[in-house]
Amino acid sequence: MGLIRILIVEDHPLFRKGLRTLLSGVDGFEVAGEAGDGETGVTAALDLRPDIVLMDLQLPGQSGIGAIREIVAASPTTRILVVTLFEDDDSVFAALRAGARGYILKDTDEAEMIGAIRSVAAGQSLFSAAVADRVLGFFAAVRPETPRVFPSLTGRERDILRLLARGQTNAAIATELHLSPKTIANNVSTVFAKLQVADRAGAIVRAHEAGFTS
């Protein structure tokens, strides 16, 4: 992986300065810019075209959710990693619906923060442990499923979506379903196509919105 250019959108000067100091000292990272509100963050993202935007959700003026939506619409190759205090379901799924590729909390330690940035830059979807627990908790909840939810999916594809939505990797899904990793990868691509999403985060959102549990 080459140089990862990062934009920090955060309204608290001390936290923003701390992030800049941390990331500027990491090999392969470059802090391309920073912004203290949503509107400035959108402008900076479109001017600088960073690889990653670290986005707070509670910002003066335009919200972080609105800023994510604008950035993703205008620059689909720019990946958004939410860095926030909020871990409630509404915030998590609103950010994912807007196009965020990852969601971590501000009390994340330095090593996890650096790893999250690298993972999202590599095209993965990444959740901090607390947020992942909330996502998994949603799918563990007992709720009725409408029979017509995702009727285009085959039985195998439904099994894969269920496991994918619980955060399992392709390798883990292959092991659980006793299938080859290649078969899982092909089926995951088919699920994305049928759900009209680009990645795991999008699939999780679609499953959440549909009440899909099995």
Residue 141's pLDDT band, with cuts at 50, 70 and 90, is low
Q: Compare 17 and 207 and report the one with higher pLDDT.
A: 17
Q: What is the pLDDT of residue 24?
A: 94
The C-alpha torsion from 193 through 195 and 197 to 200, rounded to 10°, is -100
Straight-line distance from the first to the last Cα atom of the chain, in angstroms, rounded to the nearest whole number: 37
Lowest mean pLDDT among 71-80, 104-113, 147-156: 147-156
Instruction: Report the pLDDT averaged over residues 186-211.
Output: 86
Q: Enter the DSSP assignment of 178.
A: T
Indicate the pLDDT class of residue 139, thresholds 50, 70 and 90: low
Distance CA 46, CA 193 (A): 28
What's 153's DSSP letter? S
- Of 54-63, 85-94, 178-187, give the lowest mean pLDDT range: 85-94
Q: How far apart, in Å, are the Cα atoms of 183 and each of 153, 156, 157, 188, 192?
A: 15, 11, 11, 9, 14
200 band by pLDDT with thresholds 50, 70 and 90: confident
Tell me what pLDDT residue 142 has: 46
- Between 57-61, 73-77, 133-137, 187-191, the lowest mean confidence (pLDDT) is in 133-137
Kindly indicate the confidence band of residue 26, based on its pLDDT and cuts at 50, 70 and 90.
Answer: very high
Delineate the domains of the chain, giving CATH numbers in brackets: 4-136 (3.40.50.2300), 144-210 (1.10.10.10)
Give the mean pLDDT of the chain.
86
* pLDDT value for 213: 58
pLDDT tens for 145-182 read 545 578 888 888 888 888 887 777 888 888 888 888 88
Percentage helix, strand, coil for the chain under 3-state DSSP, each rounded to 5: 55, 15, 35
